Amino acid sequence: MSKQMYSMIPNTKQGSQAWNVERWLRDGKGITPLEALHKWGIFRLSAIIFNLRADGMDIETKMIKRGKKKYAEYSYNG
């Protein structure tokens, strides 16, 4: 029998993009936009992060600079 996991955010369906990101962050893992694109096909990770924050998640943004490129890495402070 498989263990069903629930979202802490109301109205978030299992398997949705927001659910995947929430579970990933709550497991203590950071995520970047490129990782989200490769893992779940998410093009606008920042929009999902915005909505999760609006629903009460404490998510930290760390800006990473590699050469001339700059991108965000998100992690959960919970």
14-27 core/surface letters (b: 16 or more CB in 10 A; e: else): eeebbbbbbbbbee
Where do we find the tokens 């909505």? 51
CA distance 67 to 52: 30
Residue 27 DSSP class:
T
Q: How many helices (H) and strands (E) does the chain have?
A: 3, 2
Domain ranges of the chain: 17-76
In three-state secondary structure terms, 17 is: helix
Note if the pTM is more than 0.85.
Answer: no
The 10s digit of each residue's pLDDT in 4-49 is: 555 666 666 777 999 999 999 999 999 999 999 999 999 999 999 9
- Binned at pLDDT 50, 70 and 90, residue 63 comes out as very high
